[in-house]
Chains A and B, each alone.
Chain A
């Protein structure tokens, strides 16, 4: 598990009150207790943690086209933005 993966899963676990070790890339977000406010807060925490900017627009997500289905979707998006914004 990479650092990014571990950190993102930790944030998701904290927000959804799941046991930290029980989440993985495959975890489907719909199985966790997260509402739309939780998602926005998680994005904020991820941005703070990695000092990146994620262009998440809640209106587009509600349209289900940019919706995150699995934890892996979020991890990949974070990785992409870190690469773009931090040149890592």
Chain B
């Protein structure tokens, strides 16, 4: 079994257009949740989100290419560009490199789907622009990434709602660890700010009208975000031998399914996934210094996750720090696991634990150290990143500085 290094990072989020912007936002504890600007609001009750603001596709892609690229594919490509450039890998010239590409996304080309439905059902369009199908398919983003970078190894997209990117990273990690691949481009991408999607989210009654306050007593639910996170994973020895930047290490990966409710999380499932991650890398609960929580800010997740952490970590639960960066960059759904893994790696690099933003007063049932509001300058080296998705699909990765 090989050790797995992280040799490249790329990120598009509400906090900015690259991974350094994310890191800076975290160090400042800046909340990027604001009024929605990229979608018509007339029929919506919800007014806020964590959008990738001031984004002009024409700056990054030519017109012809944009015909093929849904917004979620655009974000994925941009994040992949940053990550690949950082890693210095070049699949086209390195003929010996066996590199995989595994991305996560919850729903893929939703903007394209929404526009297409409007055209055909509302406007009675007689015909479609030719490439709607390859534009909206959930695998579109990773296909385009393999094309742009000349990646010819195993490539596909993983879907598990809010855990998609976390699962994708886990799968990619296993490929490199087992030696099936020398390296893997992985992460997630999501962009769903369309009126139809937002209306559907409103109907679930779990969107917060004010902001995202994970673990606070007066939290009112989640705030949607968008973006993409890409990590380059590489065989440790190979990375060292070529002098690659070592940005961290993926230590282990744990998964479970709740087999419970389609939306309500289960304690058992969360406990099982965290324990599986620890067992996978042979770590004891006491080795974990920080947890990047799933922490959506819903009533149920935050309580269940807190209880699960107590159960897995025992007395150590009160010594470690837990924060939810969703309070700062929103819930990026299928991209969340990747943005949060990158956030955790950069926080370990910078020696600053990200805060749980917008924190007012602790919910009596949420009694851990959530690093409320203020980023904490404290070096740390071993962390878990949790994703507990709708449908009870859980994924936890263990990371080291």
A-side residues, CB < 8 A to B, are 36-37, 40, 43-44, 53, 55-60, 62-63
Contact = CB atoms under 8 A, between A and B. Distances in A.
B300 interface: yes
Interface stretch (B199-207, B286-294, B351-359): B199-207
B300 A40 contact: no
Given A36-B264, A37-B263, A63-B299, A58 B205 contact: yes
Given A59-B220, A63-B299, A40 B45 contact: no
Interface residues of B, number: 19
Contacts, number: 38
Given A62-B299, A62-B300, A63-B299, A56 B263 contact: no
A43 B209 CA distance: 18
A44 B204 contact: no
What is the predominant secondary structure among interface residues of chain B facing chain A?
Answer: loop
Contacts of B221: 57-59
B205 A40 contact: yes
A63 B220 CA distance: 10
5 closest A-B pairs (Cβ-Cβ)? Answer: A62-B299, A59-B299, A58-B205, A59-B221, A59-B220
B219 interface: yes
Contact of A44 (B203, B209, B264): B203
Nearest to B219: A59
Nearest to A47: B203
B220 A60 contact: yes
Interface string B194-228: 00000000011110110000000101110000000
B146 interface: no
A59 B298 contact: yes
15 contacts: A37-B261, A37-B263, A40-B203, A43-B205, A44-B203, A55-B45, A57-B208, A57-B221, A58-B221, A58-B298, A58-B299, A59-B208, A59-B219, A59-B221, A60-B299
Nearest to A58: B205
A47 B221 CA distance: 21
Interface string B243-274: 00000000000000000011110000000000
Nearest to B209: A57
A79 B264 CA distance: 30
A63 B203 CA distance: 19
A59 B222 CA distance: 9
Name which of A44, A58, A62, A63 has the most chain B CB atoms within 10 A of its CB: A58
Contacts of A44: 203
A59 B206 contact: yes
Interface string B361-390: 000000000000000000000000000000
B264 A58 contact: no
Contacts of A43: 205
Contacts of A40: 203-205
Nearest to B297: A59
Contacts of A59: 206, 208, 219-221, 297-299
B98 to A, nearest CB: 46
A57 B207 CA distance: 8
A66 B98 CA distance: 56
